[in-house]
Amino acid sequence: MKLTWEPITLDLRTTFRVAHGASDQRFNVLVYLDDGVGEAAAVPYYGETQDGIIAYLKSVPDLGDDPFDMDNILARRPAGSRAARSAIDEALHDLWGKKLGQPLYKLFGLNPNNLPLTSFTIGMDEPAVMAEQARASGHPVLKIKLGSERDEEIVAAIRKSTNAKLRVDANAGWSREQALQIIPRLADYEVEFIEQPLAVDDVEGYFWLKEKLKAQKIKTPIFADETAKNSHDVAKLAGAIDGVVVKTMKSEGIREALRMIHTARAHDMQIMLSCMVESSVGVTAAAHLAPLCDYADLDGPLLIKNDPYTGLKYDGAKMSLPNGAGLGVVKK
């Protein structure tokens, strides 16, 4: 199988701000394995760059000739860029589906009518600006990026501007003490759940926070994102969190994302399937797993102006998978 790649620049519809910084463009890489395609998202706070992804891809040895020998093919990927490893996995799954002439969701035995609604992300800004963006979006489910000194003010302003369901994502922006102070206050705004409140490496902090919130009778669910990169991380957090965020860019592909989902279910956790700022290639690849999940945050294509592919379709917050073989994405 021939491995090739193509750097792409994604232009964002609005400046995207999170606790780690702001951007107007993202520099991703499309990866091809024969006729299969995947996407590597160069996320700065994951230490990924477009140049680094391409350098990794140049180091990949021959992956073999049999796309059905998935475990052995994926085991040949060198250690390194998670995004690049994920893109190879996605391209392999796309090729697999194309060889069999079936959409990926059918090969997993899933019902494409069982997709949860997707949230739409409101990046960090002034409270009034975020509130107006939330109102203007018209989306019934919103994910609010937090991690500033004005977090409660932001949520209050957005709640006043819309009746949408609200989910908040602190992007590891709070200390234990800050989380313990603000989470009970956010409960007053009918927040559905809180994503990644603590530092990435603070696994013990989640157990600490769980006990503290339980003592205060605060029932707002806590989901782990960056702290749960793979199925082993999910198991370590059992008993400390209510849910896990699954992203192919963290899990190094669809194969491990599926293991994360099954591990989470074994520990009675809920699951949100999410994405980075990705085109329809990466987001559609992840979306084939959406029927297995409780929540979705798959708005990547809605955030960019120059999507190079078509794939996952949106009708407001409702999503529908393409019926083409493999990922089902088509180049524009």
Clarify whether residues 194 and 65 are in a common domain.
Answer: no
pLDDT of the residue at 20: 64
Q: What is the DSSP letter of 67?
A: T
Distances in Å between the Cα of 231 and the Cα atoms of 71, 204, 218, 244, 318 are 16, 17, 27, 10, 28
Supply the CATH number for residue 288's domain: 3.20.20.120
Same domain, 112 and 216: yes
Of 101, 118, 133, the last residue of a domain is 101
Q: What pTM, to 2 d.p., does this model score?
A: 0.95
| CATH code (residue 20) | 3.30.390.10
Q: Quick: pLDDT tens for 275-293.
A: 999 999 999 999 999 999 9
For residues 127 and 41, state if they share a domain.
no
Strand, coil or helix: what is 220? coil
- Structural domain boundaries enclosing 180: 107-331
Q: Do 326 and 254 share a structural domain?
A: yes
Where b means 16+ CB within 10 Å and e means fewer, 259-275 reads: bbbebbeeeebbbbbbb
CA 43 → CA 46, 53, 198, distances in Å? 5, 11, 19
Q: Residues, the chain, total? A: 332
pLDDT tens for residues 208-221? Answer: 999 999 999 999 99
**91 and 124 assigned to the same domain:** no
Q: Is 58 left (phi over 0), alpha (psi -120 to 50) or beta?
A: alpha
Among 10-24, 64-78, 239-253, where is mean pLDDT lowest? 10-24
pLDDT at 195: 97
The per-residue pLDDT for range 155-200, each reduced to its tens digit, is 999 999 999 999 999 999 999 999 999 999 999 999 999 999 999 9
Residues 184 and 38 in one domain: no
Res. 4: pLDDT tops 90: yes
Model confidence band, residue 131 (pLDDT cutoffs 50, 70, 90): very high
Q: What is the pLDDT of residues 96-124, one digit of tens each?
A: 999 999 999 999 999 999 999 999 999 99
Mean confidence (pLDDT) of the chain: 96
* Residues forming a β-bridge with 5: 31
Residues 142 and 225 in one domain: yes
Let me know whether 301 and 247 are in one domain: yes
Last residue of a domain, which of 60, 76, 101?
101
Using the 3D structure, point to which of 50, 67, 101 is the last residue of a domain.
Answer: 101
Distances (CA, A) of 132 to 58, 81, 122, 266, 324: 45, 37, 10, 40, 38
In the chain, % of residues over pLDDT 70: 98
- When pLDDT is cut at 50, 70 and 90, the band that residue 19 belongs to is low
Same domain? 196 vs 255? yes
**Number of domains, the chain:** 2
